[in-house]
Structure 1
């Protein structure tokens, strides 16, 4: 893989400039590869619009299209479920063809479907627009997997952690834009966000079109379209990891309801909690991922994450019985511990997502991984609503226990995956 030319404004552009650049690369401030920088920039632009859209799409459907709450929920649920089916076949296509071109097609499709949402005036045009958007989004995620793996080189987990930090930063700016639109609360403001999201898909595509094409990797003759689904250890990893990813909805879904309905904390604490979580991920994810290389390290990292989730959620649960400012202090500590768990989990999860998948089928395996995460986001609202909000303090502890159990099981699944791959290798 070719390296980007080194530039420096120093009077001596030789060793001094290289030293500064090397230090920046080690610190995770930039990457010494043009394709990596393009992937990061494209991801930032894409997530900027997506975060703003996801925050406001229910309000857009309610205020602009004039759907009922039930219709909005039905439409988004249909889109989420249908979106799960595209990842594996499109990922397989990306493995066998050109992943960059497949990803570009999905971005253009999302731009068109998002634009069509501006002309939706009833339920089914709304459902069609968001469903096509979700289908293209899950397809794009599967096609992006081979690009990350092959352009990431020997530092795929670290590079993936950098991409997560960039995405979180973009989400922050997107949420601010969404907040402004909600504050203005006019049809024009909501339509501007929809149009802006459509343009970000085009902007992301404009960056990615400059990536070099990747030729498909040769695959064994026995490898088929459903190879990833036949890989039982990987499927079990995806199931457990999908359960662990529910942690991301704890702060964005369960905590706001908990603050408003069960505590005396001021409502602005919800924004503070999200800000603390986001900043910790932006500044600490790359550092946390250092040294997480191989299943023997990634497994214990996820196991520690489960324990951290239990501790953090237990702390948050105690805030219902104390005055407002004490509740703020207690929940802030719980959010910090929970975020540390999310850092450990993401580091281990991102390592295993690529480590356990064969390079020639990364797109197909990314599709299976995306299906696990998609199911997590479908299940999480109902599960967290029942346990953490309806049940209350005991429910927070039960959910924390589910995280602990999943984390404890993960090293055994990794060991199983290692044995299955050793057996396959010895049979060749």
Structure 2
């Protein structure tokens, strides 16, 4: 990245808030489940059920919060979601049974989804001429914050005491509260003049919904490296178990160093459509390489898996950049929060169904399952250019026709 930090001003403030937030997220993502199973003593099956319920119930929160941010101003709404998330996370300390656990985790998960949508108008307003590129920068910051949070969480896991896990939860809640305080340093963003329209405008935009579904299918790829590959390394290969950390480290380094660069050339809906297609092909190739790592010597398996992770991460960079471009470019400015809330439904569904789907196909079924998953990604990528062309032809009552969305086929011919 040409600059480690944006220039002083709103972009740096948003980046600082995002860093503090993801530092807390890294604490929870690494050891949150262990807190409930080891400190609260809930059965793992109940924890999984509660997280699934929370994920499903939180899907609509993004649309509502995004619409509210469009109408009332994004800064206050986004800060409010962070405060709710901080309070709900602190509520984990009082969750002494399944019912309180579900209530707290539902509130925290809903606030997280709402915050992602409410933040979108801020990114669009303060992101300069290319808010999509700034969004890519924030993704790199996210990976740094989560990685550092994971290191801190490892200390709590190593200690293994209830007090250590409680300190982890307190640190998580404080990070969210600090993130909210930093957000309030931003100048207020006035609502767009036309933001008082119905909250279901984005849900009536069928081309945008189709792209949301396709992006949701592609978003299952985020669980490949965190769910499927670790289980595959342990259960199906002779590669050393420490390679699980090695694959995550390789992925993190590549995302941090390459995400902004990968998104620079993806500067139109047509380019985003082609990036989806390329990412689908990369995911297919990575799935094939992963499947071939079973039944071969440990050194060869490790080398093949690292190569697969590099190819997968290349697809991840293209997929993320394509999603940033498509979701912003096809959303009307006055309804950015609402549209980005709808676009987040795809990732939310992937979060809910991705782990079970990957485990059943790739781990339980084995090598053929990897081919099926790879083919699913490739087909979704191939479907993106026609969907973007459809969005360009139809537009919507509240969304102007993008200047180049109807030309992906021409761009493909010259790419």
Whole-Å separation in 1 of the counterparts to 2:267 and 2:92: 43
Match of 1:42 among 17, 21, 25: 17
Q: CA deviation at 1:425?
A: 5.5
Q: Secondary structure at 1:321's aligned position in 2?
A: coil
Match of 1:56 among 13, 17, 31: 31
Unaligned runs of 5+ in 1: 1-25
Match of 1:277 among 244, 247, 251: 251
Q: CA deviation at 1:54?
A: 2.2
Q: Does 1:124 align with 2:84?
A: no
Pairwise mapping of residues 364-383 of structure 1 onto structure 2 (< 5 A)? 364-383=338-357
Deviations 1:56-93 (A, max 9, x none): 12211111111111111111111111111211111111
Q: Does 1:338 align with 2:309?
A: no
Q: Does 1:83 align with 2:78?
A: no
- The equivalent residue for 2:84 is 109
Q: TM-score, normalised by structure 2?
A: 0.94
- The equivalent residue for 1:314 is 288
Whole-Å separation in 2 of the counterparts to 1:188 and 1:403: 43
Task: Indicate if the aligned counterparts of 1:103 and 1:140 stay in contact, CA closer than 8 A.
Answer: yes
Q: Which structure is larger by alpha-carbon Rg, 1 or 2?
A: 1
Match of 1:100 among 75, 83, 97: 75
Q: 1:328–1:147: structure 2 CA closer, same or farther, 3 Å change rule?
A: same
Q: CA deviation at 1:206?
A: 1.6
Q: Does 1:397 align with 2:363?
A: no
Q: Does 1:205 align with 2:177?
A: no
Q: 1:109–1:220: structure 2 CA closer, same or farther, 3 Å change rule?
A: closer
Q: Does 1:27 align with 2:2?
A: yes
Task: Indicate if the aligned counterparts of 1:310 and 1:400 stay in contact, CA closer than 8 A.
Answer: yes
Whole-Å separation in 2 of the counterparts to 1:387 and 1:178: 31
- The equivalent residue for 2:404 is none
- The equivalent residue for 2:145 is 170
Q: Does 1:247 align with 2:221?
A: yes
Q: CA deviation at 1:366?
A: 1.4
Deviations 1:94-137 (A, max 9, x none): 10001100111111111111111112211111111111101111
- The equivalent residue for 1:159 is 134
Unaligned runs of 5+ in 2: 402-415
Task: Indicate if the aligned counterparts of 2:29 and 2:150 stay in contact, CA closer than 8 A.
Answer: no
Deviations 1:217-253 (A, max 9, x none): 01178x4110000000001001000111111110000
Task: Indicate if the aligned counterparts of 2:216 and 2:349 stay in contact, CA closer than 8 A.
Answer: yes
Over 6 Å off, 4+ runs: none
